[in-house]
Every structure is written in C-alpha cells, then in structure tokens.
Amino acid sequence: MSSRKKVTTGLRKRQTINIEMNVTTETTEKYLNLYTENIGKIKGGSTAFINSFREPAIKKFDELGIPTRKNEAYKYTNLDIFFKNDYHSYFIPGKDDYIKAEEFRCDVAGLDTHGIVLINGFYPTLNGKLRELPGGIWIGSLNEAARKFGSLVEEHYGKYAKSDSDGLIHLNTAMASDGVFVYVPDGAVLKKPVQVVNLVDSGEDIFNQHRNLILVGKNAEFNLIICDHTLSPQKFLTNAVTEVHVGENSHFDLVRVQNEHNNACKITHTFIHQEANSVVSSNNITLHGGLVRNSTYHYLGGEGAETNSFGLFLADKWQHVDNFVNVEHASPNCKSDQLFKGVLDDMSTGAFNGRIYVAQDSQGTLAYQRNNNILLTDDAKMDSKPQLEIYADDVKCSHGATVGQLDDDALFYLQSRGINKREAKLMLMFGFAHEVIQNIKVEALRDRMDGLVMQRLRGELSRCAFCLVKCG
Amino acid sequence: MLIIKDLKAGIEGKAILKGISLEVKPGEIHAIMGPNGSGKSTLASVLVGRELVEVTEGSVTYFGKNLLEMSPEDRSKEGIFLGFQYPIEIPGVSMVNFMKTAVNEHRKHKGLEPLSASDFLKLMREKKELVEIDSKLANRSVNEGYSGGEKKKNEIFQMAMLEPKLAILDETDSGLDIDALRIVANGVNKLRRPDNSTIVITHYQRLLDYIVPDIVHVMYDGRLVKTAGKELALELEEKGYDWIKKEADNKY
C-alpha cells in the first residue's frame, strides 16, 4: 500500500489501556518485594546518579505492573507463566562463575571480535572491567563507566528508555545492577566488532536484569554483536534494557543472537536514538528459547537518518517468540525498513507488532515494513499486526504481512529438478530465513548463522560452544 | 522412450485431456501446437507429475516403466526435464546451491560420487557459456529479479546441467525477443544428442524456425487432432487454427 492519507490503528488508545493496566497483581507484588529486599545490595555497586533513577522507577513499575495481555503491546504474549515463578535474584557472582566466564570461548570459526563475557549480568573479571580499544573506544562495565565518564553517562542514561505503558522498562531501571557500556568517540571507526556474550548459569532459578548504554559519536562506525546463551537447565528470567545513541553521519550495526533453552524467558528492550544522516541496522536472530520478547524502538531524530530493523525466529514445541518494533519518524527525509520473519513448528506461537509513526513535520518519509511467517503445522499460530500512524503528507509507506505454508509452486519446481520433497522443503525454509540472515555484515557470523539455521531446520539442535543443556 | 496411450486427465473434476495418444522415439523432436486452453500445458504437467492434475484414464510408459507412479523427483532423475512456461522465483535459494543439490541427486541416482566444489563450478561455467547466461546470474537467488528472457535462458541452463533424455519445453518462446529466442534455441540444439528427445510446446511457429521438429501435432480441446511433418507448422502459421477447429468440431 502506498499512502498519502492518514492511517490510524492500534496504539492511539494508549491512555485507556493505562487505566486498565493499573492493577497491581499478585505477580507485580512479588517483584516489588524483591526490590525492597535487595535494593541495598543493588545500590552498593552503582553511582549516586544511577541510583537516583531507582526510586521513581519502582514507583512507576508499581503503577504499571507486569504487562498483561490487556496491554495492546503485549496482546499476544502471556508473560505470567514465567513471571509467577519464584526466582532468586542474583547479585554476587561466585568464584566458579568467574572461571566459567573466563574460559568461555565463542566457537564461531573465523569470528574475530573484541569480546566481553558477562555471567548472569555481571563482569567476572575483577581487573579491567572497562577497557580501551584502538581509536579511543571504551567498552566494559556500565557501573565503572558511570564513575570514570560521569558526565557522558549523565548526559545519556535514562534519556531514551522511556515508556508510559511498559512496566518492565521501569523494573529494569529500578533494579539493574550492571551491564555493558560502549563509548565510540567522534570519528572513530572500529571494523572489528565488539561481541558481548551474556551467559546465564545457575543451580537455582534466577532473575537477572542487564542495563546497557551504547554511545556512538559523530562520523563513527561501530559493530556490536550480542549473544544470549543459557548454560544450565533451570528457569531463567532476563529483562534487559539497552539504550543506544548514534551521532550524526555514523554507522551502527547491531546483531543479537539468541540461543537459550526452553525454560528460559528473555525480554529485551532496545532503544536506538539516531541523529541526522546516521545509518543503523538492528538484527535479532532468535534460534531457540522458551519465551522471547524483543522490543526495538527506533527514533529517527535527525534529517536524513536511515534505520533498518530485521528479525528472524525459528520456534518449535511450546516456544513463543514476540517481536515488537516501534519506528518513530520524528524528522524529515528519513528512511526506515522493517523485515521480520518466523518459521513456526509444532504448537509454537509467535507475534509481530510493527508500528510506524510519522510525525506531522516529517515530510519526505520512506517507511517500509514486511512480516512473513511460515507455519509448518496446523497447531502453530502466528499473530501479525502492523500499526501505521501517519501525520505528514509527503510519505511513502508500505506494509505487508503473510502467514502461510511453503509455496507449493516453488516446492514443485525444486522437485522437478530431482530434489526430494524433504530436501526441497528444507531449501525453501532456509531460503526464507536467509533473506534476513544475509543482512548480517560480519561474514563469519553470517555463515555461522546460516549453518545454525540449517541445523535447526533439519531438526538438530543448533548449539553453540559450552551449551550443556539438552533441550531435545 | 515415451508412450502415451489414451490419456485422460483433469483439474478439480474438469476434464482437460480427453484421450491423448503419442509415441516419442529416441532422437525425435515433437512439436505440440494449438490454441490457448487446448490442454498443452496440462499434458506437460502430467508428464512431470504435478499433483494438481488428476489422471482419470490411460497410461504413460517411459522406458518401459509406468511413469504415472513415479514421484516428480524420480522422473527428473530418470531423465525427464520440464522447461517451465513460468519459471518460479525462489528468494534466498542461490542458483549455485540449487543446481549443486540437483546435480548431486542425479549423480547419486546413477551411483556416482558427488562432484567436488571445484568440479561443480567448472561444470557451471561450461554450461553457462552454452546458453550465454550472465555469470552474475548464477550467484543470485533462483529466478529472483530475472527478466523474462533471463528466466527462460535459466531454464535451458538447468537443462544443460541435468542433461535430460526427454526435455519438454513449455512455451519457452513466450515473452522472448528475437535475440533471446535465438540463444535459447541454439542452447537446445547444442544439447541434442542422437538418443535424446524433445517435446516443444508452442503457440507460434516462430520457435520452430530454430528448433526444427520431426513431427508436429496440433492439440485442440484436449485431443491431438492433427499430426504431420514440419510443414504443418508453416501451414498453421499461414492459415491459423480455425480450419483445424472446424475439422475437429465436426469429428467429435
């Protein structure tokens, strides 16, 4: 659909939704208690500035609560299953954890990165929690950075992760202990990506929250890979918030690879704030996980900015994967492109919520969105919802969503060349997934993702190094 | 090699083929002509095993075997090839990967080892030259973003890779300009061997200037209503199909 008229759906009812949501359920109470019990320990590691956000945030969380399905943005995702479980909160890593994280080596062949390994949201390395890379780039602990680069952190922390409807963002602000900080100064170009490996490993069911702050200056170039792994089969709940600020004329590339087990619930909220003529690409590849919810908020805050939001998930058994994307065109002549795909097997479920908001003065906007899904069984279910709110006149906007089976004509075409039906189906599914994978710019990672996706489609477990969990 | 006897078939209960009999011997080129909707493509679909088409009567024997019982992939491996009228675009599946899988399936069927990566690429290069296909096309997804002519050339390229015994070219000439038509026809001619046969399905006589048939059939309303030598094609070009239709309507 090419549109010059105003199209309005969905989220405009936000105000009323807030009222409906304003019910502190029993589950919400549990997390408020967790806060009260642990806030002393949490505050101990952070600076006064970061701690100053905690009290207002927990109040906001108390007000909004854990999102229920009455919240339009969580309409298709029932968080209760995972949130009602009793989790231990994890605040002090043990010695064994340090060793495990130190020994961790990513097994992607030929992938050359600057690595950071976090265990349950903590830096296991006592020394060098914050380190300098060529070009004056700093990576490491947010807590350390808040001490070393106080004014930088104060300029950006908490500025982008804002929400009037999602209590989980506030829960993170209230309780997150640490996370990754990246500072790329003006003009710095780092070709070699930084890779953050988030390991979750514990003998107990644990709840952990990461808080990341990524600052990319002007005329800079930076690639970030975030890998999420679970190492033990306990129930895990992760609620992560990442704030990204990308300066004028800069390029920022984010790839997130999620490979967790069926008892793990992973919730991520990523806020990317772009200045003029910056180019951003975000790619969420969900290979495995019990419940995964990725919210990505793109804010085009300067003229000529371009943002690309990609995502792919493969789900089976009772897995549920929900991608929520919000693209806000707040400046003229910006371009956005969303491409999200899902392959759903068994009785798995998925959701896609893609919102495009074009402000009144954002003339010359180009905004595209595509969501394609393949259901491999009759029991699998996918909900796809585009939401377009356009208040400018000079806008080119298109969206399309499909939920279906493999294309019979394509299947026959492959078979007619001598390829058996099973193999032909695999090729089609692989091709379907590859359209998202091909956007990964780091070649070694792209090849590995192709390989893992193929393994996964063949029904083998696509496992990364160190994974001891038998999810079969 | 191929014997079709009194074949009747339809789609969703609608009769389309109303009794086709045809024998193709090794080395022969048959042309099947006829007006739109006469059942030409349906016949091609039956021969390659499209599930959409239901055979109600008759038999098709291919090298002594019952063709109708074979899966589409087995028919391909036994040497049947269809050049599609509308080649399918398959995003995300590269031509290289597609052809490598297909060629190795064929080799496995013949009891041969899979080709090494370098031997395979060498084979691709040789065959690409044959159909004058742009080498960049091979690195792209199957038919994705190809022009009409490129798609048809790609069909002949695949045919060259798989070296079929019986090639069925369904309206390969449709949508081609004269240069592309010449390239496609040259490709087909270069691939001819004394034991290979071809069925050319076409609406126009034009392609038959380049691929000269031994036998020309005219299909109308699900039947082969006229069979003669290559001169029949010229006669049709001159007089159109109306006189054949009239003859047939009187007969059936």
Give the pLDDT of chain A (472 residues) as one tens digit per residue.
333 333 333 333 333 334 344 344 788 999 999 999 999 988 988 999 999 999 999 999 999 999 998 899 999 999 988 998 888 876 666 677 777 777 777 667 678 899 888 888 888 765 558 999 999 999 999 999 999 999 999 999 999 999 999 999 999 999 998 999 999 999 999 999 999 999 888 888 999 999 999 999 999 999 999 999 988 889 999 999 999 999 999 999 999 999 999 999 999 999 999 999 999 999 999 999 999 999 999 999 999 999 999 999 999 999 999 999 999 999 999 999 999 999 999 999 999 999 999 999 999 999 999 999 999 899 999 999 999 999 999 999 999 999 998 899 999 999 999 999 999 999 999 999 999 999 999 999 999 899 888 888 887 665 554 454 444 4
What is the model's pLDDT at position A463? 56
Q: With an 8 Å Cβ cutoff, are B90 and A413 in contact?
A: yes
What is the model's pLDDT at position A90? 67
What is the model's pLDDT at position A47? 94
Instruction: Give the separation between CA A90 and CA A201, rounded to whole angstroms.
Output: 11
Instruction: Give the separation between CA A153 and CA A135, rounded to whole angstroms.
Output: 19
Q: With an 8 Å Cβ cutoff, are B76 and A421 in contact?
A: no
Other CB atoms within a 10 A radius of the CB of residue A436 amount to: 23
Instruction: Give the separation between CA A282 and CA A254, rounded to whole angstroms.
Output: 5
| Distances B190 to A95, B79, B104, B179, B211 between C-alpha atoms, Å | 73, 17, 23, 16, 11
Residue pair A188/A157 in contact by the 8 Å Cβ criterion: no
The shortest C-alpha distance from A180 to chain B (Å) reads 34
- Name, in order, each residue with C-beta under 8 angstroms of B161's C-beta and a sequence gap of 6 or more: B99, B102, B103, B123, B124, B127
Whether B199 shows a pLDDT value over 70: the answer reads yes
Tell me, yes or no, whether A239 lies in a domain. yes
Nearest to B72 among A415, A423, A431 (CB): A415
Tokens in use for A312?
């792919």
Side-chain-side CA neighbours of A139 within 13 Å: the count stands at 18
Tell me, yes or no, whether A440 lies in a domain. no
Q: Scanning every residue of chain A, which has its alpha carbon at the shortest distance from the alpha carbon of B76? A: A418
Instruction: Give the separation between CA A196 and CA A224, rounded to whole angstroms.
Output: 8
Tell me, yes or no, whether A353 lies in a domain. yes
CATH assignment of B2-251, given 3.40.50.300, 3.30.450.40, 3.40.50.720, 3.40.50.150?
3.40.50.300
Tokens in use for A328?
């806000």
- Name, in order, each residue with C-beta under 8 angstroms of B62's C-beta and a sequence gap of 6 or more: B1, B2, B3, B70, B75, B78, B80, B166
What is the model's pLDDT at position A1? 35
What is the model's pLDDT at position A122? 82
Domain count, chain A: 1
Sign, CA dihedral A171-A142-A257-A187, equals positive
Whether B237 shows a pLDDT value over 90: the answer reads no
Question: What is the predicted ipTM?
Answer: 0.95
The shortest C-alpha distance from A310 to chain B (Å) reads 15
Q: Report how many helices (DSSP H) and strands (DSSP E) chain B contains, helices first.
A: 8, 12
Tokens in use for B171?
């309206």
Instruction: Please compute the mean of the pLDDT values over residues B73-86 and round it to a whole number.
Output: 96
What is the model's pLDDT at position A13? 35
Nearest to A431 among B72, B93, B105 (CB): B93
- Chain A residues whose CB is inside 8 A of the B50 CB are 412
Nearest to B105 among A418, A430, A435 (CB): A418
B178 contact A CB<8A: no
Q: With an 8 Å Cβ cutoff, are B92 and A431 in contact?
A: yes
Q: With an 8 Å Cβ cutoff, are B162 and A418 in contact?
A: yes
Q: Residues B83-92: pLDDT tens digits?
A: 999 999 998 8
Q: Nearest-CA neighbor of A274 among A226, A227, A353, A335?
A: A335
A435 contact B CB<8A: yes
What SS3 class is residue B181? helix
Tell me, yes or no, whether A124 lies in a domain. yes
List the alpha helices (DSSP H) in B67-207.
Answer: 72-77, 95-109, 117-130, 148-162, 178-190
Q: Residues B125-163: pLDDT tens digits?
A: 999 888 887 777 777 899 998 888 889 999 999 999 999
Nearest to A417 among B50, B51, B76 (CB): B76
Q: Scanning every residue of chain A, which has its alpha carbon at the shortest distance from the alpha carbon of B163? A: A417
Q: With an 8 Å Cβ cutoff, are A430 and B109 in contact?
A: no
Instruction: Give the separation between CA B106 and CA B162, rounded to whole angstroms.
Output: 8
Segments making up each domain of chain B, as ranges: 2-251
Other CB atoms within a 10 A radius of the CB of residue B13 amount to: 7
Number of A to B CB contacts under 8 A, please give it. 76
| Interface with chain A: mutation pick from B88, B103, B104, B169, highest number of A CBs within 10 Å | B88
Tell me, yes or no, whether A435 lies in a domain. no
Phi and psi torsions of A349, nearest 5°: -130, 155
The residue whose two tokens read 């400018």 is: A392
Instruction: Give the separation between CA A451 and CA A444, rounded to whole angstroms.
Output: 11
B90 contact A CB<8A: yes
Tell me, yes or no, whether A212 lies in a domain. yes
DSSP E strand stretches across A332-459 = 335-344, 349-358, 365-375, 381-390, 395-404
The shortest C-alpha distance from A420 to chain B (Å) reads 6
Residue pair A232/A203 in contact by the 8 Å Cβ criterion: yes
Q: With an 8 Å Cβ cutoff, are A427 and B88 in contact?
A: no
Instruction: Give the separation between CA A335 and CA A446, rounded to whole angstroms.
Output: 24
- Name, in order, each residue with C-beta under 8 angstroms of B180's C-beta and a sequence gap of 6 or more: B149, B152, B153
- The DSSP letter of residue A41 is H
Instruction: Please compute the mean of the pLDDT values over residues B17-44 and round it to a whole number.
Output: 94
What is the model's pLDDT at position A9? 34
Which helix (DSSP H) or strand (DSSP E) does residue B219 occupy? strand B215-220
Tell me, yes or no, whether A208 lies in a domain. yes
Maximum CA pair distance of chain A?
68
| Interface with chain B: mutation pick from A411, A415, A417, highest number of B CBs within 10 Å | A417
| Residue numbers of B between 186 and 225 with CB closer than 8 Å to A | none
Strands A335-344 and A365-375: parallel
In terms of residue numbers, what domain contains A85? Answer: 10-405
Tell me, yes or no, whether A418 lies in a domain. no
